[in-house]
Structure formats: C-alpha cells, structure tokens
C-alpha cells in the first residue's frame, strides 16, 4: 500500500511539526517543536534541511517565539524579538532563504511601530503562514516553467535533494521533474547519492519512488562515466544562494557535475525561488560556505569508516560559476545569460 506523503514542516496545532530527515527513509518520525530553540536545533542538526525548507522553519520558529513573549510593552517585545531573529538567522549560514525569511518577518515589526504586542504577534503569525503557503505555490510555478526545458523522454540527472523534503512541499529541481513527468511519463531520473549526508540516496530516491517516478541511484563518482556514455540528457539541481551574477552555491559536488555537464555538452539548470537570490553579493566569491563536523565524513550512519585520528574536512557547499549554468528556473520564468540582467529583471517582477 502506498503511504501518505508527509510534508517536511507544518503546524500541528500550536506546535511546529518537523519530519526528521536524518532517519529517512528507514523511519518516518515527526519532531514536535513547541519552542523556537527546538526549531533552531532541528535546523542545525539537519532534521529539517534544504534552503527553502530552512527558510520556512525559521519563519515558524519566529512565530512560535513571538507567541511565547508575554511582556506587555511593545518596545521590550521588539528588543527581545530582534535577538531571537539573530539567533534564527545564524542557525545555518549558506542558504539565503533563512535570512530572507527572518528579514521578511522582522519587517512586520519595523513597519508597525504603533502596534501592540498582541497585534505584532498576530501579524508575525500571518507572515510566517504566508511564507509557508507561498513556498508551495512558488515550487509549482518553478515546476511548470522548468518542465518546458525538459526534452521528451529525457534522462535527467539531479544532485542532493531539492525536492518536497527541501521545501514546504513539491520541490524545486524535483518540482521540475514532477511537472515534466506529469506531461511525459517516459522521463526518468538519475539521482546522485550525495556524500556525506546522502540526501540523494536517502531522500531524493525515496520521494521520487513514492511519486512513482522512475529513478536510478548512482554514486557521485559515476556522473562522468554516465555522461560520456550518452546516458544523461540534462541536469537540474537546486540552489542555496545565488549571487547577483548567477554564480550559485549548492551542495558540495554540484560544481563537479556542472563542469562534467559542460564537457559533455549537456544542459545544466539551476531551479530555485527568487528568495534564494542574494542581490547584495556581486558574485559567488562572497557566499559563506558552511563547514560541518568532519565526523560526517569519517563516519557513515554512525559507524567509523576512516582511521581514527585522520584529518577530514567537510565543506557542505560549493559554488558553480555562472558560465557553467544553462539557465536558472524560477517562479517567474527561466533566466538566461547574461544572468546579471535577467536576475535584476526577475527581482523587479
Ligand atoms: O545541506 P542541505 O541538505 O540543507 O543542502 C541542500 C541543498 O544543497 C539543496 O540542493 C538546496 O538547498 C536546494 S533545496 C530546494
């Protein structure tokens, strides 16, 4: 029997429910967060992950935190709320959507200087809910635009997980795949396993299988060989932060896929909402790259696989220079080169 699909993050009554992605696909367990600190921990430990989903989690954390602030003085509320905003923003550094969501929520406080604490709490909750629901609508639009660049019967390569699990639902790169598959059930997917956290092996293959979309799992180091054999028609991946010139940070290993795609004349697309674009960065050199615990590299599923004491590094993201990117699929269309101009225009819409 097909199990019901569970979104990665949603309100469960007064609590924020987070599907624990660290233990998927073996177990489908939901963490119930009643405090913003619990949501921050879920973001840091990657129980919830993927740039848009982290943005939604940050927004819901702020709604939870605002509700629990019991002081009657709006100035005192604003001071405490801004400290919480900073804490949420710092939970993970690379994805632009977290800071975007925090700033969008905080602007409610700035724009309503005469509001009471109760009114601010309500406005913050409304804004957080809007971020959650808009994300699903935005992903569907990304899917719709993206499906137009997918050739008939395409064999599509994707990397990491830019699916329903990485957003409020539906997905960005996987949204493109879902939408393409609805039009043409002959498309098929190669999902890279994505060491060290295995988002591709554990999450992308899981959600594509659940959607009934044909998927083949490959090791990350099989990409070049498959491309050279003519077995890949296009690649589409998500993004964590896109600079003003189109340089794109995504999961470590994405750059390698993009270079291989160029070598083999295979179109390489980024799929992301406009909230992933950081227009304050002229290019990708300023994108902060999260360095995670080396134990994620030396251990696999909690078991040591490398010699005790070996030095390991664990950069979680890399930056793909814009020259390797064929197009950036957003909710307002597919942006083409020169990306600087196309991005400016997309942000004005
Ligand atoms: O470390 P993660 O799992 O949060 O990294 C996720 C990615 O790199 C995704 O590809 C990206 O966030 C896009 S998700 C729609």
* Domain, as residue range, for 60: 9-140
Which CATH number characterizes residue 24's domain? 1.20.120.420
Distance between first and last Cα of the chain: 44
Find out whether the beta carbon of 241 lies less than 6 Å from any atom of ligand 1: no
> Is residue 281 domain-shared with residue 151, that is, in the same domain?
yes
- Closest by CA position to 222, among listed 187, 183, 195, 185: 195
Residue 24 Cβ inside 6 Å of ligand 1? The answer reads no
d(CA 208, CA 155): 14
Residue bearing the CA closest to ligand 1, atom 10: 238
> For residue 344, how far is its CA from the centre of ligand 1 (angstroms)?
24
4 within a domain of the structure (yes/no):
no
Kindly give the interhelix angle for 74-89 and 117-147, rounded to the nearest 10 degrees.
30
Q: Are residues 268 and 148 in the same domain?
A: yes
The H-assigned helical ranges of the chain are 36-44, 51-68, 74-89, 96-110, 117-147, 173-183, 205-210, 223-228, 254-263, 295-298, 339-348
Query: Quick check: helix, strand or coil at residue 146?
Result: helix
Q: Are 52 and 161 found together in one domain? A: no
**Residue 24, domain member (yes or no):** yes
Ligand 1 pocket, residue 158 CB under 6 Å: no
CA nearest ligand 1 atom 6, residue: 50
Q: Which residues contact 224 (CB under 8 A, 6 or more apart)?
A: 260, 263
Residue 1 belongs to some domain of the structure? no
Catalytic residue among 135, 240, 247, 318: 240
- Cβ of 250 less than 6 Å from ligand 1: yes
One domain for residues 27 and 70: yes
- Give the CA distances from residue 24 to residues 81, 196, 199, in Å, rounded to whole numbers and listed in that order: 33, 15, 9
* 264 CA distance to ligand 1 middle (Å): 25
Ligand 1 centroid to 71 CA: how many Å? 37
Does 120 lie in the same domain as 182?
A: no
Question: What letter would DSSP give residue 80?
Answer: H
240 included as an active-site residue: yes
How far from 167 is each of 76, 98, 162, 238, 277, CA to CA, in Å? 33, 12, 8, 11, 16
Q: Is the same domain home to 149 and 295?
A: yes
Nearest Cα to Cα of residue 264 among 342, 188, 155: 155
The verdict on residue 320 lying in a domain is: yes
Identify the domain boundary among 84, 117, 140. 140
Query: Which of 107, 140, 173 marks a domain boundary?
Result: 140
> How many whole angstroms from 241 Cα to the centroid of ligand 1?
10
Both 131 and 164 in one domain: the answer is no
Give the count of alpha carbons within 13 A of 206, CB side only.
25
Query: Would you say residue 3 lies in a domain?
Result: no
Are residue 172 and residue 225 in the same domain, yes or no?
A: yes
pLDDT tens string, the chain, 349 residues long: the values are 456 778 999 999 999 999 999 999 999 999 999 999 999 999 999 999 999 999 999 999 999 999 999 888 999 999 999 999 999 999 999 999 999 999 999 999 999 999 999 999 999 999 999 999 999 999 999 999 999 999 999 999 999 999 999 999 999 999 999 999 999 999 999 999 999 999 999 999 999 999 999 999 999 999 999 999 999 999 999 999 999 999 999 999 999 999 999 999 999 999 999 999 999 999 999 999 999 999 999 999 889 999 999 999 999 999 999 999 999 999 999 999 999 999 999 999 9
- Kindly state whether residues 132 and 204 are assigned to the same domain: no
Domain total in the chain: 2
In a domain, 251, yes or no: yes
Asked whether residue 154 falls in the same domain as residue 72, the answer is no
Do 51 and 161 contact (CB within 8 A), yes or no? no
Same domain, 118 and 183: no
154 and 79 in a common domain: no
Residue 252 lies in a domain: yes
Cα–Cα distance between 44 and 214 in angstroms, integer? 32
Give the pTM: 0.96
Is the Cβ atom of 240 under 6 angstroms away from ligand 1? yes
Residue 308's contacts (CB-CB under 8 Å, 6 or more residues apart) are: none
Domain end, chosen from 117, 140, 163, is at 140
Q: Is the CB of 52 under 6 A from ligand 1?
A: yes
**How far does the centroid of ligand 1 lie from the alpha carbon of residue 69, in Å?**
32
Choose one of 7, 158, 240 to mutate for the ligand 1 pocket test, by most ligand atoms within 8 angstroms of C-beta.
240
């Amino acid at each position: 029997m097909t199990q019901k699909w569970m979104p990665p993050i949603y309100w469960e009554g007064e609590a924020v429910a987070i599907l624990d992605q660290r233990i998927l696909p073996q177990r489908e367990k939901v963490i119930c967060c009643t405090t913003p600190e619990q949501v921050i921990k879920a973001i840091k430990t990657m129980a919830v992950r993927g740039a848009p989903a982290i943005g939604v989690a940050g927004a819901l954390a702020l709604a939870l935190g605002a509700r629990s602030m019991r002081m009657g003085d709006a100035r005192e509320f604003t001071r405490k709320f801004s400290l919480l905003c900073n804490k949420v923003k710092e939970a993970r550094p690379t994805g632009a959507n977290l800071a975007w969501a925090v700033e969008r929520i905080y602007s409610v406080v700035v724009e309503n200087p005469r509001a009471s604490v109760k009114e601010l709490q309500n406005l913050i909750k409304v804004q957080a809910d809007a971020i959650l629901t808009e994300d699903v609508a935005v992903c569907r639009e990304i899917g719709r635009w993206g499906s137009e660049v997918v050739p008939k019967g395409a064999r599509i390569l994707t990397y990491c997980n830019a699916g329903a699990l990485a957003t409020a639902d539906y997905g960005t790169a996987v949204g493109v795949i879902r939408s393409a598959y609805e039009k043409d059930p002959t498309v098929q997917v190669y999902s890279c396993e994505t060491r060290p956290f295995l988002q591709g092996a554990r999450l992308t293959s899981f959600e594509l299988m659940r959607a009934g979309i044909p998927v083949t799992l490959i090791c990350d180091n099989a990409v070049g060989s498959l491309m050279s054999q003519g077995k890949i028609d296009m690649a589409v991946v998500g993004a964590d932060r896109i600079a003003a010139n189109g340089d794109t940070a995504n999961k470590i290993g994405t750059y390698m896929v993009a270079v291989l795609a160029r070598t083999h004349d295979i179109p390489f697309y980024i799929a992301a909402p406009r909230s992933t674009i950081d227009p304050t960065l002229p290019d990708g050199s300023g994108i902060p790259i999260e360095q995670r615990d080396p134990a994620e590299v030396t251990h696999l599923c909690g078991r040591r696989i490398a010699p005790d004491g070996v030095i390991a590094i664990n950069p979680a993201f890399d930056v793909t220079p814009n020259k390797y990117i064929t197009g950036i699929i957003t909710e307002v269309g597919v942006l083409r080169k020169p990306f600087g101009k196309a991005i400016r225009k997309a942000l004005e819409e």
